[in-house]
Amino acid sequence: MVKPERPANEARRLDALRRARILDTAPEDGFDDLIRIAAAICRMPIALVSLVDEDRQWFKARRGIDFEQTARDDSFCAHSLLQPEQLMIVPDARLDPRFRDNPFVTGELRVRFYAGAPLLDPDGLPLGSFCVMDREPRALDEEQKLALVALSRQASRLIELRRVSGELELQLREREWYEEQLQQYQLALEQENASLVELTRTDPLTGLPNRRAFAEELQAVADTGAAYSVAICDIDHFKQVNDEHGHSEGDRVLVAVADALREHHAARGRVARVGGEEFVVLFPGQRADAAMRECETLRQAVADLSIGLPVTLSFGVAEGRPGEMVEDVLARADVALYAAKRGGRNRVEAG
């Protein structure tokens, strides 16, 4: 095991950490929410807001571990202080000479994967790391990396807001300045939160709403009691595209199909990507026969795409019945989709 070196700006860094007045404070919902989002987006069992003091790392927020601090020399996050301008990723700690003998690797915790984004003060001094860990070797895709950095930036803003709020409490006589500063930081937090909400509701590849956003929209439409229909569509033989042309070409096909669906239908309803090569289309106020006609238009629009590869869609359509659970409507649409595939693909079936 290689013990982490001390950064050249260690004295200034520790001074900034002390001025933040965050060490050994009680848990806070804001930080806990951020690590909950990080664990979900990165699909990791462990997520931490880790602050590195002179001889320890202390966790302002923790998920997946019971203890609240460790020795600095055993800390993964202490290594990330040495390169605060970048995301630190350890794909397999057993293969990294810095960590293969680390007690968190060899011991009960069995850490294998680590990714940490720096927690920076406004002067760029690293206070610690916003990190996720797994007990299996892993990798993050580009969208997960961007999300981790965004969440780290949000956690840094929360730390700075705490510091500013503490200092402003000592200057209550200058109330006007106090309110202005607090409002600016609150606005920054709201903007970051809006970005995080959008991140959790949007498919990063196509820009369409994701499964979570579609489920909320579908339930809202069903709750009105008005007629509606749902279609589930699937790109035919998509695995063959990936196998023969590679995943980058598969991604290009997914984006082209998403754009076609959005262009032809978004103004009249809702389109979302719910996973892999599967999309869903919501038809508020429409019965199954009208929805099927629109699906025929969408099917033809995709079949006519000029992207250098033949691309077709199969559709399964179901109309919501009064009092029926939305999950049951989707299940009927899914059955119809598989009937379309069994019937030769590139077709629309009702369920």
Q: Which residues are catalytic?
A: 277
Backbone angles phi, psi at 228, to 5 degrees: -160, 160
Token pair 């927690």 in the structure block, residue: 119
Residues 37, 124 contacting (CB under 8 angstroms): no
Q: Which residues pair with 89 in a beta bridge?
A: 115
The structure tokens listed for 61 are: 């927020």
Contacts of 313 (CB under 8 A, 6+ apart): 233, 234, 235, 236, 257, 279, 298, 299, 302, 303, 346
Query: What gap in Å lies between CA 78 and CA 126, rounded to an integer?
Result: 10
How many CB atoms within 10 Å of residue 40?
12
Which residue's entry shows tokens 């892993």?
138
Give the DSSP per-residue string, 138-176.
Answer: ----HHHHHHHHHHHHHHHHHHHHHHHHHHHHTTTTSHH
Q: How far is it, in rounded angstroms, from Cα 47 to Cα 65? A: 9
What are the residue ranges of helices labelled H in 266-351? 288-303, 326-342
Query: Which residues touch 9 (CB under 8 Å, ≥6 apart)?
Result: 125
Residues 6+ apart with CB under 8 A from 225: 322
Rounded to 5 degrees, φ, ψ at 81 are -65, -20
Report how far residue 150's alpha carbon sits from residue 261's, in angstroms, rounded to the nearest whole number.
30
Tokens 């927020």 locate to 61
> Residue 228 is encoded by which pair of tokens?
């509606």
Q: In what order do the strands lie in the sheet with 56-63?
A: 69-71, 56-63, 46-52, 126-134, 113-120, 88-90
